[in-house]
């Protein structure tokens, strides 16, 4: 079994009461989005009102964390010095709602195995016990 690779450098987001459910949901192992009470729409990024029905009745709700790679890119450029180039940036479409999409990284697999249509599940990367980044790994057990 290989050692878990060192966590790469990441810019930490500014955590606020508005987005805390998202950036710290991973502490409880949950990927959370705001969800509208009346019409059940998931809303991302967080907003004061539901964009579908304009209700203010929004509350964080956990999703399954399962999704599909909608598109991806393998970043080769060393914007920040790090040992894991190239790494995969992806837009992941969550299972719960067709337009519930998230830019993230696909990890725990060779970068060149990432492809559009790949089934993935959320995994969290904790930085400083402050932010739990929702990343994605293959569901087919390709992780080694």
Partner 1 sequence: MSEPMERRACITGIGQSQIGRRIGRDPLDLTLDACIAAIEDAGLTRDQIDGITTYPGAMGGAPGFTGAGVTEVQDALRLKLSWYTGALEQPGQLGAVVNACMAVACGLADHVLCFRSVWEATAQGSGKRSGIGLPSGGGGGGFRPSGTMEWSLPFRAYSAANWIALSAQRHFHEFGTTREQLAGIALNARRNAALNPNAIYRDPMSLDDYLAARMISTPLCLFDCDVPCDGATAMIVSRREVAGDLRRRPIGVEAVGTAIRGRPSWDQWDDLTTMALRDAGAMMWERTDLTPADVDVAELYDGFSFITLAWLEALGFCEKGEGGPFVEGGTRIALDGDLPLNTNGGQLSGGRLHGFGFLHEACVQLWGEGGERQVGGDPEVAVAAAGGGPLGGCLLLTGPR
**Residue numbers at the binding site for partner 1 (CB under 8 A):** 8-14, 19, 44-45, 70-77, 79-81, 86-87, 89-91, 99, 101-105, 116, 131, 133, 135
CB of 92 to partner 1, least distance (A): 10
Give the footprint of Zn ion on this chain (CB under 5 A): 36, 39, 41, 50, 52-53, 55
- Backbone φ and ψ of 22, nearest 5°: -75, -50
CB of 14 to partner 1, least distance (A): 4
**Residue 36 binding partner per list partner 1, Zn ion, none, with a CB distance cut-off of 5 to 8 Å that depends on partner kind:** Zn ion
In three-state secondary structure terms, 71 is strand
CB of 72 to partner 1, least distance (A): 6
Residues whose CB is less than 8 angstroms from the CB of residue 117 and which lie 6 or more positions away in sequence, other chains included:
68, 69
When the beta carbons of 120 and 131 are compared against partner 1, the nearer one is 131
When the beta carbons of 38 and 45 are compared against partner 1, the nearer one is 45
Nearest CA among 37, 66, 69, 67 for reference residue 50? 37
The dihedral over CA atoms of 44, 72, 127, 45, expressed in degrees to the nearest 10, equals -10
The dihedral over CA atoms of 26, 31, 35, 41, expressed in degrees to the nearest 10, equals 170
**Residue 133 binding partner per list partner 1, Zn ion, none, with a CB distance cut-off of 5 to 8 Å that depends on partner kind:** partner 1
């Amino acid at each position: 079994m290989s050692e878990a690779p060192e966590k790469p450098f990441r810019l930490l987001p500014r955590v606020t009461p508005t987005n805390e459910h998202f950036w710290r949901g991973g502490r409880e192992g949950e990927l959370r989005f705001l969800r509208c009470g009346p019409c059940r729409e998931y809303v991302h990024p967080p907003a004061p009102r539901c964009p579908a029905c304009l209700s203010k009745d929004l509350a964080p709700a956990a999703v399954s964390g399962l999704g599909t790679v909608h598109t991806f890119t393998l970043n080769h450029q060393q914007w920040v010095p790090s040992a894991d180039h190239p790494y995969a940036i992806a837009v992941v479409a969550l299972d719960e709602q067709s337009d519930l999409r998230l830019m993230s990284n696909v990890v725990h697999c060779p970068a060149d195995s990432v492809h559009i249509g790949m089934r993935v599940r959320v995994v969290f990367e904790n930085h400083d016990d402050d932010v739990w980044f929702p990343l994605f790994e293959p569901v087919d057990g390709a992780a080694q």
